[in-house]
Structure 1
Amino acid sequence: MSDAPGDKWSHLVGKTIVSKDDVADKSDSQFYKEGLPQPNRVLTPTSICTRDLRPDRLNVNVDEKGVCQSVHFG
């Protein structure tokens, strides 16, 4: 296993992002946006984002249904 910082968050891949305001009880196939480390950004296929490098920022790439496709820092 790699010691890359993003590996700690790789378990999110395949799970759906939800907000605590929208879901009272999350299932094992979901994760709370509020549980992500700061700073973070959630990127959808149509998201516009800056290209600045921030090594401490967790980027969560989700599909159009909110299912996490990948995570990485930068």
Structure 2
Amino acid sequence: KNNLRLLSRFYHNQCRTNMPLVVPGITNTGGANTSGQATKDEWLNKLVGKKLSESSSDETTFAKKDLPKIHRIVKRGDVMTMDHRPDRLNIYLDENDNVRDVNYA
């Protein structure tokens, strides 16, 4: 019995896997998106290093009017709500108001 118990414990420890939680339509890791919404990586490519402007886009700026309808701009030190909205694009600015990161949350 002891050998069987040890073998069983060994088997469970060796065969245990940690599976990531993936919820279709909610989990977004920056890869392909089936909802037609641009992915995190696509927004990073469009925005990182740029300043946001009210009306026009060029090599160094991006127009706020071209952002998704549901978005939030976050500057360093800003207080923000912790509600989870997978369709909301969060845009994080650095100390010079350049985009440093984005995510959906």
TM-score range, shorter chain: 0.7 to 0.9
Runs of 4+ in 1 over 6 A off after TM superposition: none
Deviation digits for residues 19-58 of structure 1 (CA, Å, limit 9, x no counterpart):
12xxxx5431110111100110000002111000000000
Deviates more, 1:41-50 or 1:53-62: 41-50
Query: Highest Rg: 1 or 2?
Result: 2
Q: Which has the higher strand share?
A: 1
- When the two chains are superposed, the root-mean-square deviation of aligned CA atoms in Å is 1.8
Aligned with residue 19 of structure 1, among 43, 50, 54? 54
Higher relative contact order (CA 8 A, sep 6+): 1
Q: List alignment gaps of at least 5 residues for structure 1.
A: none
Q: Which has the higher helix share?
A: 2
Identity of aligned residues (%): 31
- With the length of structure 1 as denominator, give the TM-score of the two structures: 0.81
* Matched residues, number: 70
Does 2:38 correspond to 1:7? no
Q: List alignment gaps of at least 5 residues for structure 2.
A: 1-29, 34-38
